[in-house]
Amino acid sequence: MREKRHPILWILTASFFLAAVILFVMFRFVLETPADAAPVPLYTIRAWEGKVAVFERHQSYPKQVYDMPLSGLPYELRQQVLEGVPVHSEEELSVLLEDYTG
């Protein structure tokens, strides 16, 4: 004897599968961060009490203050430090610090 098929069970299964596909597409493609969005810097080089300093993400106090007065920097570098220089890696930090404190 043949078992009775339950159409409601098939509809629920298909609905669940369709919802899973829609959610996957939404999270994978629609809600994805745009590729041109700027990454959050690890550090920022900026002025602190008239000297060059390194700040970690979103910190209001410097991680390190260098004994390089802003007045000793060339005009362009001084302007960059006053505006804040975003740094995205340890290597980039080393190179920039050589420029600013070298």
Q: What is the residue extent of each domain of the chain?
A: 1-32, 43-101
Report pLDDT digits (tens) over 44-68: 999 999 999 999 988 889 999 999 8
What type of residue sits at position 46? R
DSSP class of residue 33 equals: P
pLDDT of residue 13: 86
Mean pLDDT of 87-97: 91
Whole-prediction pTM: 0.61
Radius of gyration of the chain (CA): 27
Rounded Cα distance, 49 and 66, in Å: 11
pLDDT of residue 53: 94
Average pLDDT over the chain reads: 85
Percentage of the chain beyond pLDDT 90 is: 40
